[in-house]
Amino acid sequence: MMLEIHEAAKHFGGVRAVDGLSFSMNEGEVVGLLGPNGSGKTTLMNLVSGALKPTSGDILFDGVAIGGKRPDVIARAGVARTFQLVRVLPSLSILENVMVPAAFGREALWGRAAEARAEESLARVGLKVSPGKLAGDLTYIDQKRLELARALAARPRLLLLDEWLAGLNPTELQEGIALIRQLEAEGLTILLVEHIMDAVRALCPRCVVMASGSKIADGPTAEVLDQPEVVAAYLGGIDA
């Protein structure tokens, strides 16, 4: 198993955002993480990436416990993520935006090596804009591409995508799906939080579904989406 989550919990005061969640992922899998708003998906991403420390439970990456470790330590181990709300550095150039994570990734690249890695990552996401342009001047889809390039700059083995496809128009959505497929073909393992069901069906052979911090389903996507608990959890709660 590449990723093992054992009884992970994260409580904020009385709010049990993640409440004893367990599942595992094999290397090369693309798994959808579904659930209504507030079900704990982003919190789980934060636990895996190290942005938050679990209240209890274990998270293992390649058999090594990473739960509660610092984000840079987890990034160096080979885990990268995008944020639900895009987080590019608007006053830095596109190239500089991607050089930063290259420096803090698995290989800690500096100078020309970081620049080369940044250029490679930008090419992978198909961002066809001058790398000297300020990130703040990019269109929304290109900011999303840039954010993905930032995640890829560390050459991760596990990629966490938090609603990376949200807010794209239909043409951009198809481009985004093709791009994720390309990353899968390159061997990346991907955990994908997504509300757009067409995208989930197109990309994820397997889904894990959360409700109120707990796992309510895990299995082949078509079967999971038919389960009564899943249908009930989504009633009135999903926009797709």
Residue 105 CA to residue 108 CA, distance in Å, equals 5
The residues of the shown chain that bind Mg ion, judged by CB under 5 A, are 41-42, 84
Q: From the list 2, 3, 5, 17, which residue makes contact with ligand ADP (rule: CB under 6 A)?
A: 17
Residues touching ligand ADP, count (CB under 6 A): 11
Return the exposure string of 68-83: e unless at least 16 CB atoms fall within 10 Å of the residue's CB, then b. bbeeeebbbbbbbbbb
Helices (H) and strands (E) in the chain, counts: 9, 10
Residue 235 CA to residue 124 CA, distance in Å, equals 38
Q: How far is the CB of 153 from Mg ion (least distance, A)?
A: 23
**Which CB atom, from 52 or from 138, has the smaller least distance to ligand ADP?**
52
Q: How far is the CB of 52 from ligand ADP (least distance, A)?
A: 8
- Which span (32-40, 89-97, 168-176, 225-233) binds ligand ADP, by CB under 6 A? 32-40
**Which CB atom, from 9 or from 210, has the smaller least distance to Mg ion?**
210
Footprint of ligand ADP on 36-75 (CB under 6 A): 37-43
**DSSP states along 207-234:** EEEEETTEEEEEEEHHHHHH-HHHHHHH
Footprint of ligand ADP on 161-220 (CB under 6 A): none
Return the exposure string of 119-143: e unless at least 16 CB atoms fall within 10 Å of the residue's CB, then b. bebbebbebeeebeeebeebeebbb
Q: How far is the CB of 42 from ligand ADP (least distance, A)?
A: 3
Upper half-sphere CA count for residue 237 (Cβ side, 13 Å): 15
Q: How far is the CB of 79 from Mg ion (least distance, A)?
A: 18
Positions that interact with ligand ADP (CB under 6 A): 12, 15, 17, 35, 37-43
